[in-house]
Structure 1
């Protein structure tokens, strides 16, 4: 059972501080801008909806494969994916730092698809 005491309240306040500082980062601002641009493109959103609604038929309909390729190579989709990866890198580093302060044997999965190496290398 969780007992709420002064230390827990202090930790909660510190978490709020970390979140506030995190939200001030340039990478977060870039992500929020990329997300807004991505979501405000009605044509792109309609294409994504068609692709999602017809996912089961992707293997049988070449026009759906072409649509999916068009979506994945869209500059707004690409910008959002890069921005997401940048934010995820910061969150991973923060999580790793917290975990390592508790114990060096705690490992953190940094599942960062665009981090580099292999076929997931980041392209600029």
Structure 2
């Protein structure tokens, strides 16, 4: 060990600690900011998941309510059986003589009774 080794070691130690201190002045705020943002990310993801679950809860309840309303609306539509209407049509070949013609109801009158009313959960349970 030479007489210059101790002062040289002290110089390198002080230089290393100075550079480390200056670097920590720049790095620690960014690390702190990163920690705050990552904590906020975790907290917001929890809040997001919770709000999603609450929304899903209300959605499921309203789907059941709306299905009941739709079922009530469909029950007000004419039955699924083709309705017979008598329509007087002027005969083209027989002059002024009228005759009656049986005619089925328009498809739009029976369309509502063919709408399936199943909730998403029921359709998922049926497929498994």
TM-score, length of structure 1 as denominator length: 0.30
The structure where strand makes up a greater share of residues is 2
TM-score, length of structure 2 as denominator length: 0.29
Q: Larger Cα Rg: Structure 1 or Structure 2?
A: 2
